[in-house]
Chain A
């Protein structure tokens, strides 16, 4: 399966960038080896009678600056897991630690932007909640919108933006939390294929520029392989970690790349195996 790794020599700045990421010169990384640590996490819903276990003994580390995709069919508890990490819910047993200085940022399938605020004000609200002084908010919001290449959208209302633009503003708002850990709950699932493809490129670029840790939930195998350094496959009902792959295909990748396709086939086989088990039961 393994073949030689050839990097595009025309992109030397990008390569340096890449190297930077794997080494991670940041001092804090030595003392804290993870951005999020899930230790034997289980989660059940409902009372004793109709108790349903959604997550079963999930242990997972996300390293600082790492991009991890959680992959699974429906019923695997992906979204539950993200809610737990985001602090919106508590595990039934086990512990979850995050090392950022505030709550992890969370992006949803819907943009969840506030329609009563302009794009810029949405970002500024997150800055305000973080305690950024008023004088710096506007400038910082403009910097973040520029990072997602929407500088001119600052004064626009949410309904004036396209689906892709909304998700980019949502990304800027998530980055405004400056938490170091970005949780993404199928953020591109509702977009058309062209826009999704562009946002994959965009997310990869931003991730490499910002030293962010990303935990990305999806049911799209190709998307997972396109984006992640590590793909974690969850089984369904209850969600357990079935297997994981580290993806060493160099970024920037394309969803059409042969390497992406090959690994996707392998992961899909495994995923189908997991799903089949439920039919036999």
Chain B
């Protein structure tokens, strides 16, 4: 069946290596290496990063302007008494309330009580949500069984769990953590599921060919590949745990539970102290935004940039 074909392939260049094409033809290693280096140089572009000063100017100035604008409008509304002064205190009154708390030494303890609860609840949610998400993503019967429930739970406001949790656990920490977990676990699990779903099958095939199968495949291929979706889930999970925590603290109050920001809010309402209410809202907002900005945003940016998924790469 095989037909053989033999041919003249000697380079007709008379007398030694001729012009450039010829050196390439003879496959001289240097010529090939040079050609390749040239191609590489032509096809890679240097990535310019915006200088820090200009980035700050672009990123930090607009939100600052917006904050100042809100403060000015608020001050004006207060000044012209759109509402009675006890109903609408000015920015300075709220700042005063914050200062008083600071001087009493209670401000940090309120914030800490809530943050430590939030962090603990979030950590527990990650520990539960991650394996759960992995199971739902990879085991078909599990997905069929609880996948829809899991995404359905995401749209259920976790405040709805507070009465049930109080009946189960009374006014204890367990109640608060139950509500936080029910709020955060579904979004963390769902984030991981959608992260895994979006992993290109090619990566899994490539992983299998280099011998990354079973648990090693999950650890070295599947999880890192699903990381962007997972981080998005974590981010949302944090927002949900923080919200659920505030709702739980607001409703479930008892002396043993200590005073977190949610409880502070409720106490301020009982005292009809609007400045304190606004100060507490401000603190809840600052902690929520702060954690997102200081923890999750840089993490997400780093992961996306290292994979070339951030738009401004060049």
Contact = CB atoms under 8 A, between A and B. Distances in A.
B227 interface: yes
A5 interface: yes
Nearest to A165: B40
A249 B9 contact: yes
Interface stretch (A63-71, A211-219, A238-246): A238-246
Contacts of B258: none
A129 B216 contact: yes
Contacts of A5: 6-8
A129 B211 contact: yes
Interface string A1-25: 1111111101100100000000000
B7 A249 contact: yes
Interface in A200-226: 201-202, 204-205
B308 interface: yes
Nearest to B27: A252
A173 interface: yes
B43 to A, nearest CB: 3
B50 interface: no
B40 A162 contact: yes
Nearest to A7: B10
B254 interface: no
Contact of A259 (B5, B16, B220): B5
A84 B209 CA distance: 12
B139 interface: no
B32 A162 contact: no
A8 B11 contact: yes
A10 B1 contact: no
Interface in A146-192: 149-150, 157-165, 173, 176-177
Contacts of A104: 209
Categorize the interface residue count of chain A.
35 or more
A258 interface: yes
A177 B2 CA distance: 32
Interface in A243-275: 243-254, 257-259, 262-263, 266
A201 B32 CA distance: 8
Interface residues of B, number: 49
A2 B6 contact: yes
A102 interface: yes
Contacts of A112: 202-203, 205-206
A163 B40 CA distance: 9
A126 interface: yes
B224 interface: yes
B68 interface: no
Interface in B212-264: 212, 216, 220-221, 224-225, 227
A110 B33 CA distance: 23
Given A3-B8, A103-B211, A125-B210, A252 B26 contact: yes
A279 interface: no
B260 to A, nearest CB: 38
A105 interface: yes
B44 A161 contact: yes
A68 B277 CA distance: 77
Contacts of B24: 201
17 contacts: A2-B4, A3-B7, A6-B8, A7-B10, A11-B26, A116-B227, A116-B303, A149-B37, A159-B307, A160-B47, A176-B210, A202-B32, A245-B2, A246-B2, A250-B9, A257-B9, A262-B7
Interface of B: 1-11, 16-17, 24-27, 29, 32-33, 35-37, 39-40, 43-44, 47, 202-203, 205-206, 208-212, 216, 220-221, 224-225, 227, 303, 306-309, 313
Interface of A: 1-8, 10-11, 14, 86, 88, 102-106, 108, 110, 112-117, 125-126, 128-130, 149-150, 157-165, 173, 176-177, 194-195, 198, 201-202, 204-205, 230, 243-254, 257-259, 262-263, 266
